[in-house]
């Protein structure tokens, strides 16, 4: 095995896999290990992670825990929602959008500490290995990436547990911890594995951790107002808030009303299908609200072009190309369209439903003088005759020639 690495930055969660990787890196590469843990709103006490790293021999100066919640939402989540990005018609990309930020911070810490490599705990079957590594190479082309799951023979839970026991690695089960493979951040929480590996097996009721079952949600609906400026939410119910605070509040509201559950079979980047379940309460509200304010303020051509570009944009994020020239190019185009996406959307939340109850904007393109069904003085209905005949001309010519379409 290659021994040329001197120092490596490990994306460290403190869980079983990354704790084993921490030990494994030292044993197999003989290198100094730096741990990096990102607080992106996973709602977890991160102090024990530092204690665990110290117990595993990491120097205090080599332990990095950073609060990235505002940067995550403002610089990654909100730009994605300006595009109304949805992968394969349903998935709001909660895991995908967090990975480029983590990769960026790993590279920054590597530069700060003089590390020549980064490492992660993503498996060789998953999408995350691609997202982490494409991000790292885009930002630091000469970085070395160590992916233990593609190197070691610890390819089962039993082998991982045996390795942990042999090396005295703490594997104490956290109270109430779900047995599912989970990922959480401010945008979502996901579940994979166990009974979910059978796509015909319904999720167990006690699997869901964030949202109320819509059947048990309050019988009274709740109406909220979201204010937008340049395509981003800036206030909730008249109160100006930071980006991560808005998403946090919307998560709480959506969760209470049973909003944002999803059971999905998706196509992974590596070629296989994967079944996962997701809870994205705040994101589900934001998607509906953003489309509502855009419906009032975006020109038809711009809106339709955005809808055509969105699947490509979403696929770029899903496949790990956040730092690619094409994603950045698309983002510039999308952001230009958002300059007049300003105003307030009124939303009703009720038993899993997100219902638009009104929208207004100083930049509205809705003109009742033209759109009214009552008598008006500005629209000549006879004008429709000409453009209909011009659009029908090819059908008329083909029909006269006897051609059948």
Count helices and strands in the chain by DSSP H and E runs? 13, 14
Dist CA 181 CA 174 (whole Å): 14
Among 181, 221, 274, 364, the active-site one is: 181
Residue recorded with tokens 């699947």: 311
Among 96, 128, 131, 359, the active-site one is: 128
Catalytic, 363? Answer: no
Dist CA 323 CA 306 (whole Å): 20
Tell me how far the alpha carbon of residue 65 is from its chain's centroid: 21
Distances from the Cα of 343 to the Cαs of 84, 227, 296, 312, in angstroms?
Answer: 17, 6, 9, 28
Among 17, 69, 96, 327, the active-site one is: 17
Q: What are phi and psi of 397, to 5 degrees?
A: -65, -45
Catalytic, 17? Answer: yes
3-state SS, residue 201? coil
3-state SS, residue 89? coil
Q: What is the dihedral of CA 106, 110, 113, 117, to 10 degrees?
A: 120
Among 99, 261, 327, 359, the active-site one is: 99
Taking alpha carbons only, the member of 224, 358, 370 closest to residue 293 is 358
As annotated, the active-site residues are 17, 99, 128, 181
């Amino acid at each position: 095995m290659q021994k040329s690495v001197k120092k490596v930055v490990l994306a460290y969660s403190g869980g079983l896999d990354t704790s084993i990787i921490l030990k494994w890196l030292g044993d197999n590469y003989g290198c100094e290990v730096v741990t990096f843990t990102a607080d992106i709103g996973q709602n977890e006490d991160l102090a024990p992670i530092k204690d665990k790293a110290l117990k595993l021999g990491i120097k205090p100066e080599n332990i990095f825990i950073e609060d990235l919640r505002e940067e995550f939402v403002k610089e990654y989540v909100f730009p994605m929602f300006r595009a109304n990005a949805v992968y394969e018609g349903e998935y709001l990309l909660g895991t995908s959008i967090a990975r480029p930020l983590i990769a960026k911070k790993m590279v920054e810490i590597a530069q700060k500490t003089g590390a020549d490599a980064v490492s992660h705990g993503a498996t060789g079957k998953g999408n995350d290995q691609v997202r982490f590594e494409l991000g790292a190479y885009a930002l630091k082309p000469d970085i070395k990436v160590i992916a233990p799951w593609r190197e070691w023979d610890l390819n089962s839970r039993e082998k991982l547990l045996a390795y942990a026991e042999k090396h005295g690695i703490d594997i104490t089960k956290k109270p109430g911890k779900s047995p599912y493979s989970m990922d959480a951040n401010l945008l979502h929480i996901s579940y994979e594995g166990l009974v979910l590996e059978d796509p015909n097996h319904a999720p167990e009721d006690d699997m869901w951790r964030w949202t109320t079952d819509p059947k048990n949600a309050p019988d009274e609906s709740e109406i909220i107002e979201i204010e937008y400026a340049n395509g981003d939410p800036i206030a909730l119910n008249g109160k100006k808030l930071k980006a991560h605070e808005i998403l946090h509040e919307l998560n709480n509201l959506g969760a209470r009303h049973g909003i944002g559950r999803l059971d999905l079979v998706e196509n992974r980047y590596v070629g296989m299908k994967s079944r996962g379940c997701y809870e994205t309460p705040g994101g589900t509200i934001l998607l509906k609200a953003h489309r509502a304010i855009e419906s009032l303020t975006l020109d038809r051509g711009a809106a339709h072009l955005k809808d055509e570009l969105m699947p490509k944009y979403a696929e770029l994020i899903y496949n790990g190309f956040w730092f690619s020239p094409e994603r950045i190019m698309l983002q510039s185009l999308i952001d230009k369209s958002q300059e007049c996406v300003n105003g307030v959307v009124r939303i009703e939340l009720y038993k899993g439903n997100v219902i638009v109850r009104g929208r207004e904007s100083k930049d509205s393109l809705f003109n009742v003088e033209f759109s009214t069904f009552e008598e008006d003085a500005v629209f000549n209905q006879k004008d429709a005759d000409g453009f209909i005949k011009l659009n029908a001309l090819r059908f008329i010519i083909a029909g006269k020639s006897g051609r059948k379409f």
